[in-house]
Structure 1
Amino acid sequence: MQQSTPPITENQTVLDALNRCVAACENCITACLHEEHVQHMVGCILLDRDCADICALTARFVARGSAHAKHVMRECIELCQLCHIECAKHNDTHCQQCAAACKVCIEACKAYLG
């Protein structure tokens, strides 16, 4: 089944949000691993990893115009919401930046889905 793909510029907003979320999650993971009490950050790290991976996968599906992009994106929204909630609990700058990136990503994905 061949799907006609819109020009990449039409998807640029969601692609940018997904890629910024990947970067914020990866940054948060690295910073959390350097925290003095890293064991308290395990939940955050695990969600960051899942969120970064699903956002990267979703960006690839959107970029190639996959017929499955919207299905993957719904999973992406769910993980971004969980990551946003977890990171928002922590006062560290990297966690707050990650929570903000997740929120922007959620909004961009919802807009893409219509």
Structure 2
Amino acid sequence: MNNTQRYLPVIEACTASAVACETCANACLKTAAGSDRDICIALYHDCIDLCRLAVRLMQRQSALVDEICRLCAITCQAVAQQCNKYADLHCQECAQVCQRCVEQCEEITAGA
């Protein structure tokens, strides 16, 4: 299996995580601006940026894939933990998607 095929589940998980974080951030902005969710929103934006960068690095088979996947897993784990503090459906869905991304990224880095 070449790296492109190996990375496909991770690319999909990172893409889904970025979309879920964008959705969650927008929902939090509409419902709770100025609240403790400001911390969440900043974290979502970090996660979006790292997930998108991870996808780009995997697509071009960069030598830095393992490092970005480690950072992506750490950030997605932080988002999942933060989202689990709230009962909102968008937060719960984001937590699940981010947790899947953590698992996929850890599979990549386990072989490093």
TM over 0.5: yes
TM-fit CA distance, 1:20: 0.2
Amino acid at match of 1:46: A
2:51/2:72 contact within 8 Å kept: yes
* Matched positions, count: 109
Matched with 1:31 is 27
Matched with 2:66 is 70
TM-fit CA distance, 1:9: 2.6
Amino acid at match of 2:29: L
Alpha-carbon distance in 2 for matches of 1:7, 1:102: 22
**Equivalent position to 2:18, from 9, 19, 22:** 22
Matched with 2:78 is 82
Amino acid at match of 1:51: C
Alpha-carbon distance in 1 for matches of 2:67, 2:4: 19
2:3/2:61 contact within 8 Å kept: no
Kindly report which structure 2 residues correspond to 1:47-58, keeping only aligned pairs within 5 A, or say none: 47-58=43-54
Amino acid at match of 2:79: C
Moved over 6 A (4+): none
Give the TM-score normalised by the residue count of structure 2: 0.91
Structure 2, unmatched stretches of 5+, are none
Give the TM-score normalised by the residue count of structure 1: 0.89
**Equivalent position to 1:96, from 83, 92, 105:** 92
